[in-house]
Amino acid sequence: MQKIYPHQYINGSWVAPSGPGQRDMVNPATEEVFATVANGGTAEDVDRAVAAARRSFETFSRTTVAERVAMIDRIIAAYEARVDDFADIVASELGSPVSARAQVSGPIGHMKVARELLQSYRFDTHMGDTIIRREPIGVCALISPWNWPIQTPVIKFIYALAAGCTSIMKGSDASPLSGILLAEVIDKAGLPPGVFNLILGRGRVVGEALSAHPDVDLVSFTGSTTAGIKVGEAAAHTVKRVSLELGGKSANIVLQDADLEAAARWNVGRCFFNTGQSCHAPSRMLVHESQVETVLPFLVDEISKFRIGDPRAPQTTMGPVINQAQYETVRGYIQSGIDEGARLVCGGMERPAGLDRGFFVQPTVFSDVTPGMTIAKEEIFGPVLAVMPYRTEDEALQIANDSIYGLGGYVFSSDRERGYEFASGLRAGRICFNGAATNSLTPMGGYKQSGIGRSMGVFGLEEYLEIKSVYGFADEAGGLPELVR
């Protein structure tokens, strides 16, 4: 039975948007409508939500660390009670397999990390006789993308809450149900009205209104570089802080002394995770020209292990791309690779075998890719890998850095010192060596047109804090007034 979601969440209540719009949600695996969501959020709704957040900030900003820790504990408990619902939602609206639990389990880990950090973070320090206070920045607009529709908004909101800020969340039009379910969780946790608000609407209406609103103190946006530029332009008129995590075209550089098989198999798993719909995907694999033909069979063999199909089937490891538009976009990039002379190693334009409906794309690998080709330069956001040859390590570094993006980078080598030296030359915000796992305490963000600011851990918390110098209250030995100890 088709479900209808007619409300958004403002000031602790479920209310209808002021505009008449709605959106039919199409299951990307079946191409059938499974839900209808209110999509009529307007600038008027933004005004209401911002006013609620501003009122709430006056008292919420003065809550104690212990009070905010208790709120995070309640959110975690309410979230954990709904994990199966979240898995069902992301399977339906995103096509993410229920077997791939990272979309659902990851947010729990991030909330626990934020909770522990909040308990140990020093909001007041000193320099000589001066107290350095870190205070909540205020009302925050949190604009999240469709590819990680639970984890990204959770990271934004939980650090804003930890800092003592109030928030208005704007999720993607393409995956709004995850945001609605998250609002239900936060409502269940019993936060004060106005601390969290959710608006459902089009980005060019709601997103622009939030970014330009004079009573919004910070905009945290994750999405495309093109949209991020618009957010920055709108926010500049009121000189508010902007935190942007934008596009990526990350390179995995396989040095000649690396374990080629390990590098290839890891690259497939990381690049094609979430059907390639990840801004950190290593979608460029740089291999020495003498080793390309050795690497390709490992790539093809690893790709053959994917089980593509119904996201709800327990054996499925790769689902569809999110919608018809993304399906056509990814296929357009595959065609451009063919047209521009890249060698098609596997995959291609046809649907995977046995699937005659749904937005399924074959995992595709191109070789003989040169830096000027479209598939080497532009973010595809689908299961497409470009294998690029290099002659020298200097050339490999030049190719890797020859991008408007600088979000992630990857290096494989059997020599840690050599690998570290090469990684140090990469112009990107997050580098992994030999497939090392990332750490939720460490900062995430990009160089160049991949963004401004950092999320997660101490750096992520401090995005939501202002710094104030208060003179004359601390002594040279570090003594602080009892009030701020």
Round to whole Å and give the CA distance between 396 and 398. Answer: 5
Round to whole Å and give the CA distance between 384 and 361. Answer: 9
DSSP code at position 205: I
Q: Which amino acid is at 71?
A: M
Asked if residues 78 and 70 have their Cβ atoms less than 8 Å apart, the reply is no
Of 93, 446, 100, nearest to 269 (Cα)?
100
**Which residues make beta-bridge pairs with 169?**
142, 198
> Residue 109: how many CB atoms within 10 A of its CB?
13
Question: Which residue bears the tokens 């990469």?
Answer: 426
Round to whole Å and give the CA distance between 463 and 450. Answer: 17
User: Is beta strand 405-406 parallel, antiparallel or unpaired with respect to 343-346?
Assistant: unpaired
Round to whole Å and give the CA distance between 349 and 397. Answer: 31
Asked if residues 82 and 184 have their Cβ atoms less than 8 Å apart, the reply is yes
CA torsion angle 381 383 384 388 (round to 10): 100
Round to whole Å and give the CA distance between 76 and 82. Answer: 10
HEC readout, 281-337: CCCEEEEECCCHHHHHHHHHHHHCCCCECCCCCCCCCECCCCCHHHHHHHHHHHHHH
Cα–Cα distances (Å) from 344 to 317, 340, 454, in that order, read 23, 11, 37
Q: Which residues are known to be catalytic?
A: 245, 279
